[in-house]
Amino acid sequence: MGDHEEDQPIKTLHDYLHPTRNSSPSCIMFPANQQNFDFKPGMIPLLPTFHGMDSENPYVHIREFEEVVATFHSQLGSIDTLRLKFFPFSLKDKAKSWLYSLRPRSIASWGEMTHVFFKKYFPEHKTNAFKRQISTFEQRESESLYQVWERFKDLLSLCPHHGYESWRTVSCFYEGLLPRDRQFVEMMCNGEFLQKDPDEAIEYLNHLAEKAHTWTGPSATESTNRSKPHTSTSSSGGIYQLKEEDGLKAQIAQLTKEIETLKMRGTSGTKQGYQVEMHEECSVCHDPGASYQGLPDVA
């Protein structure tokens, strides 16, 4: 034993300061009976990427990731095992570093992976922020019914764990509508919107928004305001602003009016000039070149 220790080379300070590569075991623990996968070169580039930035939504990434991996399922093995195999390739930068920092062999299923992933990248404060956006949702002045309904559905999909019941989400949307579109929603169902159950209300809003989107004429919002003037008072300074199209029409009408006025003035000026010249004729001899004042006194 002593001879074996003597055969080992003595490590220098350089060796200690520059250690050899040490690879930590993966946090993913695959089943013992898993089959070998034959990855094709074009599979990895198809995966969506997640970098761990604040602007990224982990729910959107998981949804897109599962959609892509589902296309490989018929060719390879278990769908959950496939997801665990491919998931590390979808993470980049800070997200990849986070995956490497997880405890070795601590994740044995896809459900466990998504749980720790959402816990890391969708913390409580972000959930509360989305819940506030849902509960205080308001329609923008320039939005049609179709646009505001689509924006509200997108908001719900960004935070599917918001915890609100369907009746509350529909109520938040209804109360956030501008009066003109809220009246339109009621008018199209004979004022019985609040008598619908939550599922019926959601189906009705989907149908109504799609119908409004396919109309070729004025939108429902514009139809309710047809009797109102096209000008609107700006909240910043009380200045009346026109829509771009209406403003162009107004300018053309004003120019046409000014041209007509100039034509009328020109015609009137010509007549007046002619009348002045007629008054300057001699009243005695009717000679346009003569003047009554220049004739001798016949008396």
Q: So where are the chain's domains?
A: 26-31+40-122, 126-223
Rg (CA), the chain: 40
pTM of the predicted model as reported, rounded to 2 decimal places: 0.59
* Spatial contact of 101 and 129, defined as CB atoms under 8 Å apart: no
pLDDT at 183: 94
Tokens for 287, please give them: 């000679």
Q: Which residues contact 184 (CB under 8 A, 6 or more apart)?
A: 145, 220, 221, 224
Q: Measure CA 205 to chain center.
A: 19
State the amino acid at position 28 in one-letter form. I
* Spatial contact of 79 and 70, defined as CB atoms under 8 Å apart: yes
pLDDT at 21: 66
- Rounded CA-CA distance 212/254 in Å is 35
- Rounded CA-CA distance 191/186 in Å is 4
Q: For the chain (length 299 residues), average pLDDT per consecutive 10?
A: 62 76 79 72 92 93 94 75 92 95 92 95 92 96 94 94 95 96 94 95 95 65 48 40 52 65 60 47 53 48
Quick one: which of 89, 90, 85 has its CA closest to 72?
Answer: 85
pLDDT at 275: 47
